[in-house]
Amino acid sequence: MAKPKRLREFDVVRDDEKCIRCEVCCRMCANDVHSYDAETDKVSADSAKCVGCHFCEDVCPTEALVIKRNKSQIKQNANWKSDALGNIIKQAETGGVVLIGMGNDRPIRDYFGRIVLNASQVTNPSIDPLREPMELKTFIGSKPDRIELVEKKSKVRNTTEIPPQLELETPVLFTAMSFGSISLNACKSLAKAACDFGTYWNTGEGGLHKDLYPYAHRCIVQVASGRFGVDREYLKKGAAIEIKIGQGAKPGIGGHLPGEKVSGEISSTRMIPEGTDALSPAPHHDIYSIEDLRQLIFALKEATDYKKPVGVKIAAVHNVAPIASGIVRAGADFVVIDGIRGGTGAAPQIIRDNVGIPIELAVAAVDQRLREEGIRHKASLIAAGGIKSSGDVVKAVALGADAVYIGTAALVALGCHLCQRCYTGKCNWGIATQDPYLTKRLNPEIGAKRAYNLLRGWSLEIKEMLGGMGINAIESLRGNKEQLRGIGLHEKELELLGIKHAGEAW
Amino acid sequence: MQKKLIPDIDYRVPSACGVTGIMNQKGELFSGDAIYASICNMLERGSGLGSGFVAYGIYPELKDYWCFHIMYQDDRAKENTEDYLKKNFGVKHSEPIPTRRVKSLKFIPLLWRYFLEIEKEVGSAEDYIIKVVMDINKEIEGAFVFSSGKNMGIFKGVGNPDEIGEFFRVPEYKGYIWVSHNRFPTNSVGWWGGAHPFGILDWSVVHNGEISSYGVNKRYLENFGYFCTLSTDTEVITYLFDLLVRRHKIPFETVGNILSAPFWSQIERIEDKEERELLKTLRMVYGPALVNGPFSVIVANSSCMVGLNDRIKLRPLVAATKGDFLYISSEEAAIKIVSPQLDKVWMPRAGEPTIGKLM
């Protein structure tokens, strides 16, 4: 029978006049799109294989290539769009679950885009960050609600012990991305940038490769349901520990790194046999309740002599505020909330696109809940999932976050074009792949510089926005919803975010 | 009726202002003439939309009783409040606050003062008073407690300082600390409660500035049971002082390091390691109490008067001494009119508190 084909997503358009037959595209494309025929001296493309990563376009020395979205030829239909059709066709062929990479690409309401910031006029001078100090220093960890002072030799001294803290020069950290889901060069790039700038990176659940030891002092080591790479040494090396319960891109779902990707390096880092599948169960099988989580938190604190903050990461789901409250009561020093737009290396598309809630609502709800219960100081709050710009950072902090995690933004700085095919392992940019031919394209020195530049650029912008509001320290922005106004938001949404509508004064 | 005219009960009204304070550090009483002259020398700093005075040591015969100054919108609010007071206190004495007719003043509320005794077992008397004041201000419509300390009182309203001073017959009182305020709000206000000084217990605060960190400070204070009913910046500063000094027992010098915290770059340069660690810890733990934005404030209680600026000194503040007197003011002229020959005049640095204590 005639089988339907999936709609071609892209057209590779080549200007034959410009093409010099250098064949760089043919050699570079991991998806084998381009080929050269010596007999006819023609370079041709199999557009059906193109994933839209734009690598060939960017490396073509004569700019002969343009990757264009294929204009859909199917009958227009508001309900049955080409991606829905495409997935059905795919499943009709394979009978499997449709996989996808990166964050949700559906038009889930973007609250950041509907929130605007304040600035000072007349009654309050705005502050120029180029002339005046402007402070972004942020501490992640549990704080006491007060301190006890004594007078010693006519000097005031503190007698309160402060739990361990992470000290950040900017309220932005690199989120969990494992060695396995991304290449070692990508890990190195982010790790080095975090160290150079004075923030933190995160191992994900891939363990800590030996080459990353020099950056371990600014690394948050993750303990996830697969417990890959976790041993005493690993816990001691990191600056903090993060228990991963869930992820915004796939709440309630485990992970699966196929055996063919478990190379020698990954095998030794994850401490599993070479070539075996690395399966992360959906739940931790030693955590079936909040009291079990408490045990793991304290087991990890015991293992590290109470010298490192231990946090818990969860996906933003309906009941996120009470869950976060329980996590704080269970002893976590920080809580990470990952919203529905959070990225991933691989997830079932149906989960990524349909499960969870936006980070803006989740952060506002969690912050408010912790304050109402009088335990907000006991843990820091890190927001993740869809932070696209420094504006989003400022809004997330004003909604109640202490800091934000970025993942996708950091990968875009390294070259990612969000083709969403991370799970294929054929990343032409050398990011989401373990193929040495591909990974060597990402130079960790240059990658680190680019990721550092991103942090620097955003930090400068955050300072400009703070100065405009007449604020010179980030702690005066944290939870400062007075500086936010909603545009075109429903009353209920404003109530949940805890902000007023634009046009309303103080 | 009046509620419609009072934006600062529902909205935060930023204002620029003149502040001035005089303290006799030996506790000797002096008449309100001095403060009246001082504030009236800064009429330019106000717009006739609010001013006020606070005096310590003015009720020596009733110094052991909590003195509430309350403004009422109408008789019903007064009845409700008095029922409430009778239920919760022994009322030693009550009377209208003595005033003189000043033609230009409008929307004058009913003004009463009560001398109260706590008769039941309540634990901390101070916490009880705060709870009661919050209750009345939040729950009883049309009633507002604007002074609640012992042997001190706040007098304030909508008008120029000369009018308000004359109205409340300020020069007739004698106190050892006097602080006054002249207000320039950015929109018209008709409610007398919005004027400064703001007070709770024997704390009083006058404030020139706008707090950009208001949202943070307000939510932080809610954690500790302080609810900002008034939506004024000044209220926030008052509660922060009460929280830090009275409840957390932090000395005034250190409170300066919390409200107008030194910059990280300054902290890093401190050689004494313990001092450096202390300042770092203060910022870590009390970050939400950092008051950001331009301000100069004068805070007083029964034993001290403290002047403080924001961390980059965006509003003026001058201090001076003459004998046992300490002067703190927005302008030197407001000090010199009272005491032309001063021992010492200086500009306190950003974030550095100027402290006067009873000797």
What is the predicted pLDDT for the residue at B234? 83
**Residue B187's pLDDT band (boundaries 50, 70, 90)?**
low
Strands B110-117 and B66-72: antiparallel
Least confident of A56-65, A257-266, A337-346, B16-25: A257-266
Q: Do the beta carbons of residue B137 and residue B143 sit within 8 Å?
A: yes
Looking up tokens 């991963």, which residue turns up?
A244
Q: Give the minimum alpha-carbon distance from A500 to chain B in angstroms, rounded to a whole number.
A: 12
Q: Which residues of A441-472 are buried (b: 16+ CB within 10 A; e: fewer)?
A: bbebeebbbbbbebbeebbebbbbbbbbbbbb
| Mean pLDDT over each residue of chain B, to the nearest integer | 91
Q: What is the CATH number of the domain that holds B264?
A: 3.60.20.10
Assigned domain for B125 exists:
no
Q: Is B264 on the interface with A (CB under 8 A)?
A: yes
Peptide bond into B353 cis (omega under 30): no
pLDDT exceeds cutoff 50 at B7: no
Q: Give the minimum alpha-carbon distance from B216 to chain A in angstroms, rounded to a whole number.
A: 5
Model confidence pLDDT, tens digit, residues A461-481: 999 999 999 999 999 999 999
By CB atoms closer than 10 A (0-12, 13-18, 19+), residue B83 is: exposed
What is the predicted pLDDT for the residue at B17? 87
Kindly report the three-state secondary structure assignment for every residue of A444-491.
HHHHHHHHHHHHHHHHHHHHHHHHHHCCCEHHHCCCCHHHEEECCCCH
Assigned domain for B333 exists:
yes
| Extents of the domains making up chain A | 10-96, 167-478
Residues 6 or more apart in contact with residue A261 via CB below 8 angstroms: A180, A425, A434
Q: Do the beta carbons of residue B192 and residue B51 sit within 8 Å?
A: no
Percent of chain B exceeding pLDDT 90 equals 78
Least confident of A180-184, B195-199, B327-331: B195-199
Q: Which residues of A touch B294 (CB under 8 A)?
A: 124-125, 470
Strands of B66-72's sheet in order across: B90-96, B110-117, B66-72, B143-147
Q: Is B64 on the interface with A (CB under 8 A)?
A: no
DSSP element (H, E) containing B237? helix B233-241
Looking up tokens 């890959």, which residue turns up?
A228
| Mean pLDDT over each residue of chain A, to the nearest integer | 94
Which B residues in the span 154-183 are in contact with A, Cβ-Cβ below 8 Å? none
Q: How far apart are CA A126 and CA A132, in angstroms?
A: 11
Closest CA to B175 of B201, B199, B208, B153: B153
Closest CA to A172 of A461, A484, A476, A365: A461
Class (C level, CATH) for A167-478: alpha beta
Q: Which residues of B98-107 are buried (b: 16+ CB within 10 A; e: fewer)?
A: eeeebeebeb
Compute the Cα dihedral for B242, B244, B247, B253 and give only its sign: negative
Q: Which residues of B touch A125 (CB under 8 A)?
A: 294, 314
Q: Given an 8 Å threshold on Cβ–Cβ distance, is A143 in contact with B219?
A: no
Q: How far apart are CA A352 and CA B140, in angstroms?
A: 51
CB pairs under 8 A between A and B: 127
Q: Do the beta carbons of residue B356 and residue B305 sit within 8 Å?
A: yes
Q: Which amino acid is at B320?
A: A
pLDDT exceeds cutoff 90 at B14: no
Percent of chain A exceeding pLDDT 90 equals 90
Residues 6 or more apart in contact with residue A498 via CB below 8 angstroms: A364, A368, A399, A481
Residues 6 or more apart in contact with residue A299 via CB below 8 angstroms: none
Q: Is B263 on the interface with A (CB under 8 A)?
A: yes
Model confidence pLDDT, tens digit, residues A38-97: 999 999 999 999 999 999 999 999 999 999 998 767 788 888 888 888 899 999 999 999
Question: What are the angstrom distances between the C-alpha of A124 and each of B2, B100, B292?
Answer: 29, 37, 10
- The range of the structural domain enclosing residue B45 comes to 2-59+148-357
Please give the positions of B annotated as active site: 17
**Chain B: residue whose CA lies nearest to A474:** B287
- Where are the extended beta strands (E) located within B63-197? 66-72, 90-96, 110-117, 143-147, 152-157, 174-175, 177-185
Q: Given an 8 Å threshold on Cβ–Cβ distance, is A158 in contact with B223?
A: no
Q: How far apart are CA A248 and CA A339, in angstroms?
A: 5
Q: Do the beta carbons of residue A340 and residue A317 sit within 8 Å?
A: no
pLDDT exceeds cutoff 80 at A226: yes
Model confidence pLDDT, tens digit, residues A189-205: 999 999 999 999 999 99
Q: Do the beta carbons of residue A435 and residue A425 sit within 8 Å?
A: yes
Assigned domain for B85 exists:
no
Residues 6 or more apart in contact with residue A436 via CB below 8 angstroms: none
Assigned domain for B224 exists:
yes
Q: Do the beta carbons of residue B51 and residue B124 sit within 8 Å?
A: no
Q: How far apart are CA B73 and CA A313, in angstroms?
A: 52
| Average confidence (pLDDT) over B194-209 | 90
What is the predicted pLDDT for the residue at A190? 98
| Average confidence (pLDDT) over B88-100 | 96
- The DSSP output letter for B22 is E
In Å, the largest CA–CA distance within chain B is 62
What is the predicted pLDDT for the residue at A419? 95
Tokens representing residue B341 in the block: 């020959």
Q: How far apart are CA B227 and CA A214, in angstroms?
A: 49
pLDDT exceeds cutoff 80 at B319: yes
Q: Give the minimum alpha-carbon distance from B129 to chain A in angstroms, rounded to a whole number.
A: 22
Assigned domain for B127 exists:
no
Q: How far apart are CA A21 and CA B40, in angstroms?
A: 87
Assigned domain for B82 exists:
no
CATH 3.30.70.20 fits A10-96, yes or no: yes
Q: How far apart are CA B148 and CA B122, in angstroms?
A: 17
pLDDT exceeds cutoff 60 at B188: no
What is the predicted pLDDT for the residue at A71? 76
Q: Do the beta carbons of residue B208 and residue B297 sit within 8 Å?
A: yes
| Average confidence (pLDDT) over B70-82 | 95
Q: Is A312 on the interface with B (CB under 8 A)?
A: no
pLDDT exceeds cutoff 90 at A341: yes
Q: How far apart are CA B204 and CA B67, in angstroms?
A: 14
What is the predicted pLDDT for the residue at A31? 95
Model confidence pLDDT, tens digit, residues A14-35: 999 999 999 999 999 999 999 9
CA atoms within a 13 Å half-sphere pointing along the CA-CB vector of B275: 13
Q: How far apart are CA A297 and CA B204, in angstroms?
A: 46
Q: Is the ipTM of this structure higher than 0.85?
A: yes
Number of domains in chain B: 1
Closest CA to B187 of B10, B3, B13, B1: B13
pLDDT exceeds cutoff 70 at A162: yes
